[in-house]
Structure 1
Amino acid sequence: MQIVILAVGKLKERYWREAFAEYAKRLSGYVNLSVVEVADEPAPDHVSPMEIGYILKTEAHRLERHLKPRDGIVILDRQGRQYASEDWSQQFTRLEAEAFGRLVFIIGGSYGLDESIQKQASLKWSFGPLTLPHQLARIVLAEQIYRGIRIARGEPYHK
């Protein structure tokens, strides 16, 4: 299966890149993983709702350039559904069975994702009510994809 992590922003610090690289290496035995990063839109300290709308639209256009018609889209969103590891594994297996061309996981920027991206989602997934920095969210996402695959295959890891 081809999996794409499409993220607003970059992993700048070495420790984030190293943590992600570890899970990317683990995943390489199961899926074809690629990462696409798009620039986040700079924002002033005090942002009006109109400016937030502009930022979201601008980032959405950058993300949409990397989407294909047959993609299965999973967005990370605080308002999404939360899953225990075993339940996530079942959801992942269900998404694999949908025969999407690719499974694309989208991580938004500081203000989330524009409605135009949210409407395209096959699944909205939440890691809980807390807000994670996008760098940490990417690490948690890679780990959870790996964990879900291992659980689905009955391989040890999740305990």
Structure 2
Amino acid sequence: MKIRILTIGKLKEKYLVNGINEYIKRLNAYCKVEMVEVGDEPIPDNASENVENIIKDKEADKIIAKIKDDEYVIVLDLHGKEIDSVAFSKHIEECMIRGKSTITFVIGGSLGLGKSLLQRANYRLCFSKMTFPHQLMKLILVEQIYRAFKIMNNQTYHK
């Protein structure tokens, strides 16, 4: 089983890098993890909605170019389905049972996700109606993936 995490933008904050690396190290007991960072598009000040949509589409194209046809794609989307950690774990487990060898999670840029990426998604997941910095969301995501594998394996993990 392989977990891929595709994100727009580079992670710069050392404390977040350290946290993400810690969870990836823990996840290695359960699966392979690959982090892929794709450069973001510059956003002009006071960009119109049309310009923002063009930027989202360009970023979506960059992400889609990194996705293979057989990958199961979960996008993090404010309009996606909110589920708890147990349901998240069951969803990942069901993907594995259905023979999905790679589950790819996508965190879009600061403007959100382009239409083509939303159409490519197999599942749209919302962690919260709150807005989080994309950099922090990477850490939250890898922690929840780790928690999901602990739940799947009936192993204790702090609540």
Asked if 1:41 is matched to 2:41, the reply is yes
Q: Distance in 1 between matches of 2:78 and 2:154?
A: 29
- Provide the C-alpha distance between the structure 2 equivalents of 1:52 and 1:20, rounded to a whole number of angstroms: 29
1:26-65 matches, cutoff 5 A: 26-65=26-65
Q: d(CA) in 2 for partners of 1:142 and 1:73?
A: 15
In structure 1, give the amino acid aligned to 2:50.
Answer: M
Partner of 1:2: 2
Cα distance in 2 for partners of 1:98, 1:58 equals 32
Counterpart contact for 2:8–2:38, Cα < 8 Å: yes
How far 1:18 sits from its partner (Å)? Answer: 0.6
Aligned pair count?
Answer: 159
Mapped to 2, the partners of 1:72 and 1:87 lie a distance apart of 17
Tell me the equivalent position of 2:67: 67
SS in 1 for 2:110: coil
Hey, what's the Cα distance between the residues in 1 that align with 2:86 and 2:93?
A: 11
Q: CA deviation at 1:101?
A: 3.8
Asked whether the equivalents of residues 61 and 116 of structure 2 are also in contact (C-alpha less than 8 Å), the reply is no
Structure-to-structure mapping, 1:9-158, within 5 angstroms:
9-158=9-158
CA RMSD after TM alignment: 1.0
Q: CA deviation at 1:158?
A: 4.4
Matched-pair contact (CA < 8 Å) for 2:4–2:35: yes
Query: 1:62, 1:101 → 2: CA distance?
Result: 22
Is this contact kept in 2: 1:147–1:158, CA < 8 A? no
SS at match of 2:90: helix
- Which TM-score applies when normalising by structure 2? 0.96
The alpha-carbon deviation at position 98 of structure 1 amounts to 2.4
- Deviating beyond 6 angstroms after TM superposition, the runs of 4 or more aligned structure 1 residues are none
Distance 1:137 1:2 in 2: 20
Kindly provide the amino acid, as one letter, of the partner of residue 135 in structure 2: Q
Q: CA deviation at 1:65?
A: 1.4
Unaligned residue ranges in structure 1 (runs of 5+):
none
Secondary structure of the 2:112 match is coil
